[in-house]
Amino acid sequence: MREAVATGVYAAARTLARPHWPGYGEAPPPTRRDLSPVSVAGVTRSVSWTGTLARRLGQRRGRASGGALWAGRVRLALRLVNLLVALATLASALAVLASDLRVSGYREHYGDALWFVALYAAVQGVMLVGFARDGRLVPWLALSKAVAAYLFLVGFTQFWPYWREWTPARYVYQLFEWGEERQVGLMALVFLGRGAFNTLNATYFTAPWWRRLRVRRPLLGRTVTAAPMAATVFFVWTFLALQREEARTFSSEAQDVARLVYESLDCDAVRAHAGTTTTDLRQRGERRYEVRIAYGCALTRVLVRAEDGRIGKVAGPQLQCCREGS
């Protein structure tokens, strides 16, 4: 009897002393002492790969956010330049329109057409609002500016002497006229501003279009994107070549003679020789100069060539003389 009671008490005590694990009958979880290097190797390797992947993803996100920030700044800078150009051009057109309406003889002197000046001002207003709002019209506006610049530059040699007098943006061009002796300001405005800048401007704002083309038709897409870059290089090269040519062929003495000849022209001579070109020799001190005068109502040009081959030239409209003779 005593032995049976002792056996029962021992069994009960053993049951109470046994730990109650979540899964009764299973092996207890290992303690810190049981975690040998062999048992934690897999966990360590997993944590290492997870950390590397997180770092790489973070780097990619950082580069993406940096690229987006840079692209946003470039777009903002280009928009601001376009806004300033449109604002200056619109101000010049409005000043021309006001002068045509209020200043006696101004419209006749420049030969302005009111409808053209008003249309020009309206176009610049659309440019100003479009780039300010940064809407869907921006790519089309940038592309239209580039096309207009190309059309202007194709006939630059014949068109430029007349356009600088007729354009409602004449006051913008006058800001870049740094004297008759040097044309570097105007050439920079024409070739670097209208040519190179408008090309890069249109290329940037139409990027979604040609990127899709490069994905669908890689060869055609690369050709399309290479053409603007080649055009930009051409405009910069042309500007530098013209500056070298001007420095080589320009003569300040011939320029002074050309200015004197132009200022000495009277209306009788302009009306008598309108549409013709005359050539004669003029002497100033001990030097002789060849003087060529191309008479015209819209534009009269004086070209003077010195003995060493360098030249000077002056041009301007003579509408007042032609109106008096009509």
106 lies in the same domain as 157: yes
Provide the residue range defining the domain that includes 217.
Answer: 73-249
Of the candidates 296, 291, 293, 294, which has an alpha carbon nearest to the alpha carbon of residue 274?
296
Single-letter residue type at 322: C
- Coil, helix or strand for 196? helix
What percent of the residues of the chain are helix, what percent strand, and what percent coil, each to the nearest 5?
70, 10, 20
40: in domain? no
98 lies in the same domain as 237: yes
203 lies in the same domain as 94: yes
Hey, how many other C-beta atoms are within 10 angstroms of the C-beta on 178? 11
Of the candidates 315, 318, 326, which has an alpha carbon nearest to the alpha carbon of residue 157?
315
217 lies in the same domain as 276: no
Single-letter residue type at 269: A
What is the separation of C-alpha 264 from the centre of its chain, rounded to a whole number of angstroms? 43
- Coil, helix or strand for 279? strand
Which of 225, 249, 273 is at the close of a domain? 249
Which of 219, 249, 279 is at the close of a domain? 249
The pLDDT of residue 16 is: 45
179 lies in the same domain as 266: no
DSSP E strand boundaries for 161-276: none
203 lies in the same domain as 228: yes
245 lies in the same domain as 321: no
175 lies in the same domain as 114: yes
The pLDDT of residue 179 is: 62
Dihedral sign computed on CA atoms, order 291, 294, 297, 300: negative
293: in domain? yes
Q: For residue 179, what are its two tokens?
A: 């004297």
148 lies in the same domain as 278: no
43: in domain? no
Dihedral sign computed on CA atoms, order 243, 249, 252, 254: negative
Q: pLDDT by residue (tens digit) across 258-301?
A: 888 888 888 888 888 888 888 888 888 888 888 898 888 777 88
146 lies in the same domain as 207: yes
- Coil, helix or strand for 266? coil
Place of tokens 């000077």: 312
Residues 6+ apart with CB under 8 A from 185: 176, 177, 178
101 lies in the same domain as 202: yes
Parallel, antiparallel, or unpaired for β 277-284 and 311-316? unpaired
DSSP E strand boundaries for the chain: 277-284, 287-294, 300-305, 311-316
9: in domain? no
Which of 205, 234, 249 is at the close of a domain? 249
The pLDDT of residue 24 is: 46
Parallel, antiparallel, or unpaired for β 311-316 and 300-305? antiparallel
313: in domain? yes
4: in domain? no
Number of domains in the chain: 2
Q: For residue 30, what are its two tokens?
A: 């290992």
- Coil, helix or strand for 105? coil
The pLDDT of residue 325 is: 45
Residues in the chain with pLDDT < 50? 5, 9, 13, 15-17, 19-26, 32-43, 47, 324-326
103 lies in the same domain as 218: yes
The pLDDT of residue 8 is: 55
179: in domain? yes
42: in domain? no
Q: For residue 80, what are its two tokens?
A: 């601001």
